[in-house]
Amino acid sequence: MFRDYYYSLFHSLGQQVGFKQVKFRIKSKIFLLDATTISLCLSLFDWAKYKAAKGAVKMHTLLDYDGNLPAYVNITNGKTADNKGAYDIPLLKGSVIVADRFYNDFYLLNIWDSSGVYFVVRHKENIQYKVIKENELPDNRHQHLIKDEIIALTGVQSKNKYSNKLRRVAIWDDKNEQVIEVITNQMSWTANTISGLYKSRWQVEIFFREIKQLLHIKSFIGISQNAVMIQIWTALITILVLKALKAMAKFNWHLSNLVAFIRLNLFVKIELMLWLDKPFEEIHDPPPQNQYQGILF
């Protein structure tokens, strides 16, 4: 029920608010894919098998780039590999999925490619391939781009799983002083767009940090599997409503400040939208009793 309620809110409230970020010059819908492990005490949560002395659940999340809200979440036990938890994600034809090296599963990538979905995935170091063509890099700009080439897989198993050509882009990460190598099935976008798409993947890490730190999803009230699932989905509903409030408010809220101020004012009789727009203005008279706080819904 809580899961269905989240998706219902996401498809109505989440889309109406119109969250926007820095836009890419592409028409494709952008999704960021990753998973996070939520540790649990195995002696209490004996159903959450992970390691010999540890318990955990894993939250496989497909994040919508517009708004940084999950379009799909698959909650599994901690043992489930990241790529295995991604087989059931809904695929939108013409969209692009951006993911880390844990999703460098050529059987999975072939499913995405066959479904008309683009991908930008960091590849593993032991990938075997041959270069078919080397694309020219732009002169005197985008100096972080090292290579842009068309490749074909040569490993026996990987070639059987994915037989089409791939594009390989090597990027210099100045912050961490390392080379990042990604593969994609998109041949027409610029190498700088591919680079920017992979860089945007860090938004999903920020989302995981927000939901764990702001909503305390690391500590649970109940110990049954159903209780844990309810608390996770309740947290997702809460983060959606909070981001909706943040987007609708005229005041430039930081999400952490909004959470803190709402906690302080939870039982204060104020008009919601007026307070969101002007949180530091003193209101002398309480709102009329016939007003309702139903604007949000």
Question: Residue 214: its pLDDT value, please?
Answer: 87
Q: Do β-strands 96-99 and 30-40 pair in parallel, antiparallel, or remain unpaired? A: parallel
pLDDT beyond 70 at 208: yes
Distance from C-alpha of 33 to C-alpha of 97, rounded to nearest angstrom: 7
CA distances from 32 to 65, 68, 110, 119, 201 (A): 7, 9, 18, 10, 6
Q: Are residues 91 and 196 in the same domain?
A: yes
Residue 52 banded pLDDT, cuts 50, 70, 90: confident
Q: Are residues 295 and 197 in the same domain?
A: no
Q: Are residues 52 and 137 in the same domain?
A: yes
pLDDT beyond 90 at 204: yes
Domain of residue 274 covers 254-297
| The pair of three-digit structure tokens given for residue 142, joined into one six-digit string | 């985008």
Tell me what the mean pLDDT of segment 14-43 comes to: 79
What is the total count of domains within the chain?
Answer: 2
Query: Mapping DSSP to helix (H, G, I), strand (E, B) and coil, where does residue 274 land?
Result: helix
Question: Residue 54: its pLDDT value, please?
Answer: 86
Distance from C-alpha of 261 to C-alpha of 283, rounded to nearest angstrom: 16
279 assigned to some structural domain: yes
Question: Residue 289: its pLDDT value, please?
Answer: 60
Q: Which of 197, 213, 229 is the last residue of a domain?
A: 213
Tell me what the mean pLDDT of segment 154-163 comes to: 93
Distance from C-alpha of 28 to C-alpha of 164, rounded to nearest angstrom: 21
Share of the chain above pLDDT 90, in %: 58
Q: Are residues 195 and 260 in the same domain?
A: no
Residue 22 banded pLDDT, cuts 50, 70, 90: low
pLDDT one-digit tens code per residue, 86-128: 998 999 999 999 999 999 999 999 999 999 999 999 998 889 9
Q: Which of 157, 190, 213 is the last residue of a domain?
A: 213
**8 A C-beta contact, residue 37 and residue 58:** yes
Residue 18 banded pLDDT, cuts 50, 70, 90: low
Q: Are residues 79 and 128 in the same domain?
A: yes
235 assigned to some structural domain: no
What's the residue count for the chain? 297
8-state DSSP, 122: E
**8 A C-beta contact, residue 156 and residue 129:** no
